[in-house]
Structure 1
Amino acid sequence: MAGLYLEDFEIGRTFQHPLRKTVTESDNVLFSAMTLNPQPLHIDFDFAAKSEWGQPLVNSLFTLGLMIGISVNDTTIGTTIANLGMTDVTFPSPLFHGDTVRVETQVISARASKSKPDRGIVEFEHRAFNQHGVLVARCTRQAMMRSRSAA
């Protein structure tokens, strides 16, 4: 797999992920339906048209998943043992149908495990932007990563 190992993550390194995605109405409605989220701001166009946004908002949990998903190919594919947590999740601006998402990831910290020598913990900050460069999502993620000694 192409994923990076614990030792490969240099603190401060920022990845500009080349993979991007234009979010569709279908993405938003399907995700909302699959997660049993009946929020009318996501799935009821008439309701959303009367909101301050004037149109449906993309489900924020879809945005979070997309942001982290876009990062995987360049960072953790096949080398993650587990996600340990996501903190400081914010959505400073809305995401709408037709917006194209791009993501950057910065390595905040990395350390070896104190109890298991074949792994360690890397902390990432993920940031998602729309096609206009507006920040639409941000989160800090802690991931348990394989060490080269486990390869």
Structure 2
Amino acid sequence: MQYFEDIAVGDRASFGRYPVQRDEVIAFAEKYDPQPFHLSDEAAAKTHFGRLAASGWHSCAMMMAMIVEHGRDHRQAGLGSPGLDELRWLKPVYPGDTLRCESEVLAARASESRPAIGLLKTRVTVFNQDDIAVLSCMSNIMIARRPD
């Protein structure tokens, strides 16, 4: 198991592979972000997107799926997150793109109020298949400290 004490400021990781599927883009938009440029080729063609584009919130969900899979693969003792900071949608995500993530640990500290928990701040950047950054954020992570 990977605990707080196993992670250092400056640690970097590259992980994930998420193929963006047209039907998933539309299904997500229908349920959560039903704007025309997320639902219709014709409507999207009339916008700066030029074609059907994934919702930014869908892009965040795809990022989260890759983060969770990476945490499982590395048996991290993750305890959730109190939130994201500085979320930016840098470029559109389109059906047919394949996404991946890179992360860097920016800060680490033990919780003062909960001694069994460590807190990490990481920069997460999502890239498409052309290595173009499409999303970035600062992620705040709670992770278990090594048991005594």
**What TM-score comes out, normalization by structure 1 length?**
0.89
Structure 2, unpaired ranges of 5+: none
Where do 4+ consecutive residues of structure 1 move more than 6 Å? Answer: none
Match of 1:135 in 2: 133
The CA deviation string for residues 21-61 of structure 1, in whole angstroms up to 9 with x for no partner, is: 110111111111232x2111100221111222220111101
Identical columns (%): 27
Whether 2:45 is the aligned partner of 1:10: answer no
Match of 1:27 in 2: 24
Match of 2:41 in 1: 45
Q: Determine if contact 1:71/1:105 at 8 Å carries over to the other structure.
A: no
Secondary structure in 1 aligned to 2:79? Answer: strand
Indicate which of 50, 58, 63 corresponds to 1:62: 58
CA RMSD across the alignment? 1.7
d(CA) in 2 for partners of 1:33 and 1:53? 18
Alignment length (residue pairs): 146
Secondary structure in 2 aligned to 1:42? Answer: helix
d(CA) in 2 for partners of 1:27 and 1:7? 38
d(CA) in 2 for partners of 1:15 and 1:8? 14
d(CA) in 2 for partners of 1:74 and 1:43? 30
d(CA) in 1 for partners of 2:8 and 2:71? 12
Q: Determine if contact 1:68/1:126 at 8 Å carries over to the other structure.
A: no
**What TM-score comes out, normalization by structure 2 length?**
0.90
